[in-house]
Chains A and B, each alone.
Chain A
Amino acid sequence: MSRASITKAHEKIQELSWDPTFVTPVEKYATDYTFEKAPKKDPLKQVLRSYFPMEEEKDNRVFGAMDGAIRGNMFRQVQERWMEWQKLFLAIIPFPEISAARAMPLAIGAVPNPELHNGLAIQMIDEVRHSTIQMNLKRLYMNHYIDPAGFDITEKAFSNCYAGTIGRQFGEGFITGDAITAANMYLTIVAETAFTNVLFVAMPGEAAANGDYLLPTVFHSVQSDESRHISNGYSIILMALADERNRELLERDLRYAWWNNHAVVDAAIGTFIEYGTKDRRKERDSYAEMWRKWIYDDYYRSYLLPLEKYGLTIPHDLVEESWNRIWNKGYVHETAQFFSTGWPLNFWRIDGMDDTDFEWFEHKYPGWYDKYGVWWERYTEMSKKAAGGAPITFNAGADYEYPHRCWSCMVPCLIREDTVMDEVDGQVRTYCSEGCHWTDTVAFRPEYQGRATPSMGRLTGKREWETMYDGVDLAEVVEDLGYVRDDGKTTIPQPHLDLDPDKMWTLDDLRGYTVGSPNVALNGLSPEDRETAMQKYRRGGPGGRPAREPIAAD
């Protein structure tokens, strides 16, 4: 269709809406935001007549590439180090996608603007597309990559792995709670507009560098839908800004959504890109460099800052602190180290870092080796299955203190000095940062700055994964999770990439080590002992090192 005919068609489809006279629309999903009717336009003029053939053409290209990859034996060139992390990434991402589809009625119900409803409904079917096309990509990996274990249990593992739960909030956050907080601020304004840049552009770029051109094919096809979604979100936030009563809520939600997205997405994608790659060209951008360009410059400076002209206070402090965590506090490195520490509880294999990696990290992140290098050398040493050798998780020689978990973002409290401990709702909880402490104790509450926020969601569930298996033998845990290969004894997770059966860890190698919950232990202490323990914990790190100096009396 020509642009002129799309404009005409788009004007015409606006005639379809009408104001009901027989009923008052039912409020399915509550919001504390208020919207007056406003003739906000859909600048992208979305019409299904042109949308479906366009998407079909995009699909044809994707499926053509899939055929080509198989015929061209792409998997003879893919790096196992990279593909193993895809077992986690592709276990998580179809759920956020489908959750985005489910989120659309929340926005439609809250915003009285039929023109935007049309765009949001098209986004709904986009998201069904994304979820199922990603599941299909994973299916292809399972069928053609050398080690299918982990892909074969993908959605079960997503549901029971600690890392799946971390990823799940990037999805559940779209569909639950205040309708606008969830479906607009968290999903569209922050997740889609900011963080799909690293998810769907940086990740595929790194995949290609590791021999996998299917991830770029699928995810660039996905990303090409995102501009329409960003446009939907921007129209809604402009409508919200038109009502002064929304200002506090907008500022609250920007803080929450920004910080949670940073905590979750940067932890995961940063790890995949920095620790999943074999491409160690010095000229390659590090995750921090990509983040600075695409999140800080393209999103924060070009998208968020201009919103200040509408009188909105942007969370500059949180943006700067996110950068500080990535650049100065080693957030990504600490996370990768944690994933690797807990390798027996994963459903993928993790390759150790070697001298080439060390050199690259030191070049990109000066001082990296002093913080993390020795630990990675130990990781490689302890990845070898020796008689009686403990996995690094339980090996005292690792010089690593297993971390407390953040109650809000559920990534552990890895930057030890930032850890916050507080008794909330009758339970002692730990938080990775002030931002996450605020999320639980201030944002997700029925009152905010003196005003009632009855529609705001709640943090719920069994938020510390370790609680589920406190006191249980590691081998039993792995068996219960179902992370065992088809011989009934070799584990799916491995701390190396060697597929020689004699070198692969089995349940027997993991027997005799007891999983413990740091939160249960913390709650079991007296208040004084708890404070002392927390002071010591905060003095630990970097690289998970336990604090060594004696505790100073306060």
Chain B
Amino acid sequence: MTAPAISLKDVDISYGDTKVVRDVTFDVAEGESFALVGESGSGKSTVLKAIAGLAPQWTGAISVLGKPRGHGPDRAFSETCQMVFQDPYASLHPRKTIDTVLSEPLAIHGIGKRSEKVLEMLAAVGLDRRFRFRFPHQLSGGQRQRVAIARALMLEPKVMLLDEPTSALDVSVQAEILNLLKRLRREQGLTYLMVTHNLPVVSFMCDRMAVMNKGRIVEIAPKTALYDGSFADPYTRDLYAASGGNPDAPAPLAASDS
């Protein structure tokens, strides 16, 4: 057994005097795809931010690929773990070309052959090379999210933190991005920790999920629980019902009436 890719133990996170996440403990195995599910304000994005070093006020222990994580930004850490943000309209610098955006992580880490690597990565995320010198406003939402994923992959990380990567996109574009993420994980052996509130996306992308409510993990369940709604916690069952349940399930569900 190797060390888990991501391991959190008794993690509490606060912003100022407000504690927003309490007692979070979970392990993500290497190569696994793990989801954090919950509604807005449940603290799921905060957990990602703490792992990425963007929410430094935490206590407990976080380790990534066996190495304990410090509280601030960490150059060695960013080579193994990268984050993709929710809104592709907000996460790309509006006045930098795609080429600049993608070369920047290489420049910071002193890695050569930048031009080749940029072209390689554009091809990997399914973007034509003519997009290389364009600005973000010249791309559609789906294309921008591809750029954001490419930027995260530039340093060849092993662990990806995905914060609602498709919630700002159309259904058909969402399908393209989800396929892309799935393919990249298969090809590069990545570990995903994905935040989402969309349960069907979890069913497609992830192996296990942790359900969060009011800053705590209420349940960790395998994705098969989504097939029949066999959740132990009442909050999770409510969330499942609000998402429409599973229309393909044989048993009748109390989803549409209420």
**A and B, one complex?**
no
Interface residues of B (CB under 8 A from A): none
A residues near B (Cβ < 8 Å) are none
